[in-house]
Amino acid sequence: MNWREWQGRQEVMELGSRFVSYVDWGSGPPVVLLHGIPNWSYLWSGIAPGLAESYRVLAPDLLGYGFSDRRDRFDRSISRQAEALEAWMDRLGVVDATVVGHDVGGGVAQQLAVRFPQRVGRLCLMDSVCYDAWPKGLMAQLGTPAMARRLTPERLTRFLTQALKRKGFATPQTAEMLEGLLAPYATEVGMVSLSRDAVALNTNQTLELASKLGHLAVPVLVLWGEKDGILPAKYGERLAWDIPGARWMKVPNAGHFVMWDAPHAVAMELFRFLEGAAPVSHSTTRSVAEELWGSEAPVPA
Amino acid sequence: MARVRQVSEHGAEGGVERVYHELRRTMRVTGVDVSLRTWAAYPRFFVAMWEALGPNVETRAFEESALGLWQEVLDSTVQWEALGAWGTTRLGPSQRFHARGALELFETMQPRVMLMVSAVRMALEGQPVGQQGALGTSERLERGVPSRMAAMDWVAEKPGDAVLRTLFADIVKTVGPPGVPGEYRALGCWPSYLETAWRRLKPRMKDEDFQRASERLLESARRRARALPYPVALSRERVSALGENAEAVLKVTQALERRSPALLLNLSRLVQDVPDMLRQPMPGASRLVPDWVAAEELR
């Protein structure tokens, strides 16, 4: 699927004075797919069609990214993204979902799981930002207004394409796919918006979660490209160790964009995760706990 | 006409950067249009133009004049056959949302730009522009961009896509220089829509009633420019004294003015093709600032 076809599938929802573009595909238990930087929901176009045969795939462009609102009028930090996501899920009538987050989307997913636990039935973190693993040099530089002023959309696109090729993938990718991943940022508005996204990358917002990850009471899958050259697998191992019961999966011969390097393996692992047991929602957790402990049951964090 | 290198918002510096900021705030738009970016290639002229015209642009009289001009454009095309591009092009909901936003933005901006272009062209040709009102005597509008106005996103003037490049070349050849008009660059984000629309817009531009409507609008814009509340102190002599090529500036301005009516008529057809689209989407609000603040700003 090329990026224009994916864009053609996008719906739009106004949230106050901002708006979110998103793909809503298939029916069944909802699965929310969150992209990172410098991408948009097109990141998931390889595995979404397969997932949509059994699940309701919801893939938003985070605020300030892709074809969601990109104006200079809001904070794009992962904590604000989580708040917007919660409001978006509420408007969609999605009580809770399996949330899959890649890169910065993984940071948003962590924020969502900790701050709005009722919304997250299962959590999958894929090559996710965490702890002090981010922001990486390239994105940190892009966030400085002075650096952004020296760029043009054409130069930025060339620069990012080279960087993605060099560090993002373990296998060769088509020019069409790379163009698609960066398409929303190939204009002046896109370039400036990406710079604003970059300046919102904030280590503190994952570090503040570190002590809370141990309280997550949902099934968690931590999935990582073995050859991730952007966020090394050691961070994934640390996440899996910190989250009780998390399943740790290292995908061989795959880099940061694990879903493009190894789409089959990732899809299989996701299906296994999604189908492994009956979906666990907090209401379910509480009722099971109540059976065990009566009304004194602890409320999940 | 020699190609003029436009100054991007991102690449603007010094006086041009300042004027871009003030333009966006005063015109209440999210971006700076192609016509103004073209003028900015002559930076000293550009700053002087804004100093001469800016006090008019922020008045209610200017706003109402621009809205009146747009209403004339809409009235001219309302009886013409429907364009049918919106309904026949395959676009998803998010794409339609963005395209509609782009049309709203340009229908808000372009009548104002045309009024500015006519005023500057007449001033450069030595004609009187504006009345003799004393600065600060005309009601001003609130500055700032409406919260629901779309970002001014558009594709490059020379896009990578070969089909789009050919389309842009045809558009410039048809409407005239200097460069691809902003609304077409914006609609270039959805090439199939732009292609369909342009295929239907272009043939109509040769018709006699289209030409007549263009002439009427040109006259109306000039009449409206003459009636602006404050005098526009700009002349070729002044532009030359500032060290800019006054003849080149005049030529560019004449070219911009020449194509403005046709662009507005086409924009009107595009807007009227979209169901339920507001015809005056973002009217300005009265400015509620204390008199001493206004006096200081006008100092």
List pLDDT tens digits, range A40-76: 999 999 999 999 999 999 999 999 999 999 998 899 9
| Domain-embedded: residue B9 | no
| Domain-embedded: residue B266 | yes
Burial class (CB in 10 A: 0-12, 13-18, 19+), B85: buried
| Domain-embedded: residue B33 | yes
Give tens-digit pLDDT for B155-184.
999 998 999 999 999 999 999 989 999 999
Contact residues for B246 (Cβ-Cβ < 8 A; gap 6+): B45, B124, B236, B237, B239, B240
d(CA B234, CA B127): 10
Note whether B153 and A187 are within 8 A (CB): yes
| Domain-embedded: residue B6 | no
Which residues are B158's β-sheet partners?
none
**Which of A12, A152, A189 has the CB atom closest to B97's CB atom?**
A12
Region class of A146: left (phi > 0), else alpha (psi between -120 and 50), else beta: alpha
**Which of A148, A154, A187 has the CB atom closest to B153's CB atom?**
A187
Q: Which residues of B touch A70 (CB under 8 A)?
A: 151, 153
Cβ distance of A188 and B154 shorter than 8 Å: yes
Whether A263 contacts chain B with CB within 8 A: no
pLDDT exceeds cutoff 50 at A38: yes
Scanning every residue of chain A, which has its alpha carbon at the shortest distance from the alpha carbon of B158?
A: A154
Instruction: Count residue pairs from A and B with Cβ separation < 8 A.
Output: 58
Q: How far is CA B239 from the centre of its chain?
A: 22
d(CA A75, CA A78): 9
How many domains are contained in chain B?
1
How is domain A3-134+202-296 classified at the architecture level of CATH? 3-Layer(aba) Sandwich (3.40)
Cβ distance of B152 and A189 shorter than 8 Å: yes
Q: How far is CA B193 from the centre of its chain?
A: 22
Give tens-digit pLDDT for A160-209.
999 999 999 999 999 999 999 999 999 999 999 999 999 999 999 999 99
Question: Which range of residues forms the domain containing residue B31?
Answer: 14-139+147-297
ipTM of the complex: 0.87
Cβ distance of B151 and A189 shorter than 8 Å: yes
Average pLDDT in the B13-25 region? 96
Cβ distance of B153 and A11 shorter than 8 Å: no
Burial class (CB in 10 A: 0-12, 13-18, 19+), A206: buried
Note whether B201 and B266 are within 8 A (CB): yes
Scanning every residue of chain A, which has its alpha carbon at the shortest distance from the alpha carbon of B190?
A: A4
Question: What pLDDT sits at residue A281?
Answer: 39
CB atoms within 10 A of CB A155: 11
- Most B CBs within 10 Å, among A17, A40, A67, to test the B interface: A67
| Domain-embedded: residue B7 | no
Q: What share of chain A is helix, strand, coil (3-state, %, to 5)?
A: 50, 15, 35
Alpha-carbon Rg for chain A, nearest whole angstrom, is 18
Cβ distance of B10 and A154 shorter than 8 Å: no
The DSSP letter of residue A185 is G
Give tens-digit pLDDT for A128-172.
999 999 998 888 888 888 887 888 899 999 999 999 999 999 999
Note whether A63 and A133 are within 8 A (CB): no
Q: Which residues of B touch A74 (CB under 8 A)?
A: none
d(CA A17, CA B47): 33
